[in-house]
Structure 1
Amino acid sequence: MESIDDEAPRTAGSSALLRGSYTALGKRRITEETCRFWSYIQADYYGNPRQIAQYLSDDRAVVAQKIRTPDKEFPWINHKAVKGLYGQWLWRDGGKQVVVTEGEIDALSVSQTQQNKWPVVSLVNGAGNAAKDITNSLDWLLKFEKIILFFDNDEAGRKAVNEVKKLLPPGKCWITWAPEGYKDASDLLQAGMSAKISDAIWGAKQYRPEGIVSGSKIIERLKSRPKVTSFAYPEIMALLNFMTGGGIRFGELDTWTSGSGMGKTTIIKTLQHHYFETTPFNQALIHLEEPLEDTGDDLIAIRVGKRFTVDDPDFKDTPEYQKAAEELFLSTDDQGAPRFQLYDAFGSMEDDSLYSVIRYLHAMGCRIFWLDHLSILVSEAPGDDERKRIDSIMHKLKSLTVELDIYIGLISHLRKPPGGGKSFENGAVPTLDDLRGSGGIKQLSNGVFAISRDQQADSDIAKNTSTVSVLKCRKTGRTGTADFLLFEDTTGRLVKGVDPKSISTDAFDNEDNNGEY
């Protein structure tokens, strides 16, 4: 052990500061030379030899001392005099990089590995106060091009890194850890693995906020991206297929809207039957505005091409009805799961329950979901409360499409048009701003489709022809009038129609409404 000589830092500010000696730290494998460089001494503290980290001012006067005890208590002498990080006085301001460790012994370990030539500093008050310590020395740290955080590889150290990295400007923060099985730089030095300390520093990774990707990783992601498959709408919606880039897709949420009695539910059920016929995917039907029995009978009516619920109630007793019902509702996929799952909750549903139902039905094999309609999920809370709830529901539904890789077709109502203008029931085409309740509907939907029909048209064909308009399509950007769909009164099915504006009343007054004109 060597006593402090005349070149040792002088004391200042407190007569209570201890005097001690430089000596190597055998267990820690830290040399006397390193201790001398760092002014790290051993001294008598209440009759016991203790290691002491001395804190110096910029003019190398000792202003405070931190005593290390066997039970890892760290009493201070003149703690309030500490300005800046431990070791900050050793290095000129600025440079290529500075390493920040969690404790003083780690700083000595890193410094010795680098022949005490390159900037290393330590937190003053441990991981629990890391953000405060870094903030207090931020001006000094920012003079370096790289700030490498080399904290303890434990829960407290990782938490501290997560706090500190947000305080540093973009591009400045780099992070490294001791390899698995070792907590910090001191552990590595004690194990005779000083080379691993150097490896950790050279292998530090630049911190980037989560989600930022650049360079070759972008190309890798692009090449490895799975092909997104579209599932076409029926042939009677050929223009809609073109305008949407091929139909519906998993991971997307589409909204259908119209005024009252425009036929949107009929179109949705036509799509449900179409995807039953043309895809292997199971569907969940959540129709909150009608009893389950109505949903089932309407699908059977589309399948058999007969409006039996209106014209022939006795049809339900026939083998044809039974056959169609079994084909639809006893059909299963190759895992034995039903192709159709109907939710029986006429009139109301809590939105929290909806998310649980969607997750459950997805677990049961459903990939295509239909929700009719959004407004019934929202309580009659006035003003901003309704808008906030709709925003929340839309955000969660959209998130579920991505998380579960499902498709959701949603029906939403329109707000009442301003007075004086043409009503939706008289053929007015809605806009995105006509969606009822919230901007979140148009913002979070991948596609928004409006249905308009003049219920009071002079021609029977015109009044039974719905216009499908694309108000938004995120994939293609194509908007405007798509298809015209004619409702056949005899079959209850939709067939391809023509622009009702081109229909002459006289030409069709005596025609059968069979969709051929």
Structure 2
Amino acid sequence: MSKDWTDFGITIPQGKTGEVATTCPQCSPHRKKQNVKCLSVNVDKGVWHCNHCDWRGTLKSGAEERSNPYAWTPKTYRKPEYRPEPQPESGSLVDWFAARGIPLEVVKRNRITIGKVYMPQLEEEVNAIRFPYYRAGEVVNIKSRDHRKNFRMETGAERILYGLDDCAGADVLIIVEGEIDKLSLEVAGFLNSVSVPDGAPSPKAKDYTSKFSFIEGAEDFLSGFQRIILAVDNDEPGKKLEEELARRLGRERCWMVQWPEGCKDANDVLVKRGRDTLRECIEQVRPYPVQGLFDVADFSPQIVRLYDNGHVSGAKTGWPCLDRFITFAPGQWSLVTGIPGSGKSEFIDALLVNLALAYGWTFAVFSPENYPLELHVQKLAEKFVGKPFFGRSRMDRTELDKAVRWVNERFTFMLPEADELTVDRILNLAKIAVRRKGIRGIVVDPWNEIDHNRPANLSETEYISQSLSKIRRFAREHDIHVWVVAHPAKLRKEKDEAGRMVYPVPTPYDVSGSAHWRNKADNAVTVHREIGSDDSMVQVHVQKVRFKTCGKPGVVELRYDYFTGRYSDPEGRTVRSIGGNDECPY
């Protein structure tokens, strides 16, 4: 007996055919906005997909069940139907574009229409301008915009760059922030431009990875251009978009546009100054700053931000007592050391979880000592949930599913083949992760697991110096933070104040190989636990902080929970600085 929509709790208005948007019986009752129509249904084909909870299925086969909920599966996208009906030579659509300097022939060539669209923000159908997103002559997505500047993309459709087909065979690519800006450049004679699908991230956004989901699908397309002009908006969100695009696409091939005074974007220039001035702006671009020589004009926005806001510290660790002594800024690298069993890897994992939760950071991790990978995921999941994997108080299956999906979003694991365990290979993999996932941090844990077959003409000191210089350059070029875990050389026990024989706290100079570990690191941290004492108390010795805006040397104690792998900021514990006032002004 064949099933109908009511068997699955799906409500379809009577007489509706084709594509229908409705509420999802799986997630809508549990959401704040219960009336948002997040379920996309094709009545004719008998299939459905929820854009919110990913529930999907068919009338023939029923709801889809996955045997392995964590297994990677190729993304499948819905391709919307789009029939660009012939538009009249006059009317609201023509007038709207004419007011923005876009003539009718440009509107027609791009097959832009106006029609009724369901707008989730309003929970009703409204008249909206529809911009079709083409790839290889096929409509892949549609962006709709109403007169109140509400936007929506098609549910379940792929996010791609707007204007892809116009750039075939071009040597230079221009990237703008919106469809109107792309059309404005066409008026000025530039077809070789594309618009990002979701605009710029909010200046206050901590996690904006979804804004750049188009990059992975456009990797081959983007790699074909030696020169990319970033012609985004001249405001704070636009600058954030520009910086992230340059970081992911490679600063060395990016160029910047300077809009005239009083103009925010390409369309502003077209309307206020005309097509010739807009063309001059694109022809007079300047290279994006890279490591090397700079003019003051290259970093004048940073000077203004510094003047307005003062020094900005790095990302806070999540432990207030430790934040007084160290924060972690992009473009730097930190040495983490400590005797075996002191908890260096556990501390790094807990730090990464805190940074991911607080700032939306993502990471690429080389940690062969945490192999097999499922054990590393277990540790990260325990820190995320705050419950152990096993035992009476273990996390339940729902918490496990949430944790594993979160780890999958935030962490990429690097494990090259045995014959490729080199610094260069790890950095090459990390570069791919920057481009695809926008990672903000890399962990190398530990240094001695890397293949260090240095050339015969290099001493160990010279080799370490060159390797650490590569890591520092990589951190600066890609605006990420790198943590390198390195073991100290063999230490001799010493008598403490109580007369016990204990290991001294290692310093960066004790790390095996070279004093360059101390000299080249931006920050140096030692994780130390006194063997035989309270195992739950861990000392964190901040022994070097190159930039005072990020902290100062000092020592704190954190309490370690063996069952969850979490660290806490214990109340009543003393915190001391090393040299100088205990109060940090930054």
TM-score band w.r.t. shorter chain: 0.3 to 0.5
With normalisation by structure 2, the TM-score equals 0.41
TM-score by length of 1: 0.46
Which structure: larger Rg?
1
